[in-house]
Amino acid sequence: MIRGIYTTVSGMNVQIARMDTLSNNLANINTPGFKKDRTLAEPFTSLLQLSIRQTGAVSPNNGRVPLGSTNLGASVKQVATDFSPGLLRETGNNTDFALSRPGFFVLADPENEDDIYYTRSGNFHLDENGFLVNDGGYRVIGENGPLQISDSEKFTVDENGSITENENVTGKFYIASFNDPGSLERIGSNLYRAREQEPEQVADPGLMQRFLEGSNVEPVEEMMHMINVARAYETGQKIIQSQDGLLDLAINKVGVVR
């Protein structure tokens, strides 16, 4: 019976994780280029099979496989990012950019250019040295290194990412793509890091100057998910109350010696 309480609590913890993810999505509804997350749960059957596989060889005792320890309820499998595109919005700002096709802007930490990050958010500006940077001061990377522009009002960028100043091409955006964007690690501030796979350059990124990509968060959809999560959590609370009542009967009525 107590095991049933533990199982219910594990399901409630999954709902808490889902609510945290949904709240973060709604908090970033106006963040340019933000991609919503989804919390994916793993049921007991999958956890059991994983525990069996991880034990390795079969035990010599009657051919039984030692299961070890495993959770009897659900658990959070992963938080997956939905990279579907957001709506494009014209801003008129010369240093705002949006990608109309799959891909990522590449950023580097000015103090350590080996620290590379990726983002869909193109709300950039020029720093005091003329480098194109994001709000965190990370420099936008082009084909030949960080992009540097002499005048924020007198340059143009075409759909391929080529930068023109005074009728001369002075640089080109490096737009990266990944075979599996879902493997990118979200590190905060609308940035991602590639852990295992190498990026490829996008030849035709559909870059749009003076535009920003909005978030792909749909507020009504997120609110509906939040209502469902709240109901599931409330159901878990009622189940625990019911199990607690049964446990009380077992201890104080059934287990009484007369």
Residue 249 shares a structural domain with residue 187: no
User: What is d(CA 167, CA 15) in angstroms, rounded to the nearest whole number?
Assistant: 56
Residue 99 shares a structural domain with residue 195: yes
Count up the domains in the chain and report the number. 2
User: pTM of the full predicted structure?
Assistant: 0.81
Residue 142 shares a structural domain with residue 56: no
Residue 145 shares a structural domain with residue 41: no
Residuewise pLDDT in 10s, the chain (258 residues): 577 788 889 899 999 999 999 999 999 999 999 999 999 988 655 555 555 555 554 455 555 555 555 556 788 889 999 999 999 999 999 999 999 999 999 999 999 888 999 999 999 999 999 999 999 999 999 999 999 998 878 899 999 999 999 889 999 999 999 999 999 999 999 999 998 889 999 999 999 999 999 999 999 999 999 999 999 999 999 998 888 888 888 778 775 666
- Can you give the pLDDT at residue 50? 53
- Can you give the pLDDT at residue 52? 55
- Can you give the pLDDT at residue 40? 92
Residue 155 shares a structural domain with residue 56: no
Cβ-based neighbour number of residue 179 at 10 Å: 9
Residue 133 shares a structural domain with residue 198: yes
Cα–Cα nearest to 214, from 123, 118, 126: 123
Residue 33 shares a structural domain with residue 76: yes
Residue 39 shares a structural domain with residue 138: no
- Can you give the pLDDT at residue 57? 46
Residue 181 shares a structural domain with residue 243: no
Residue 61 shares a structural domain with residue 102: no
For residue 112, give its domain range: 88-213
User: What is d(CA 174, CA 232) in angstroms, rounded to the nearest whole number?
Assistant: 45
Between the alpha carbon of residue 234 and those of residues 25, 93, 186, 240, the distances in Å are 22, 47, 30, 10
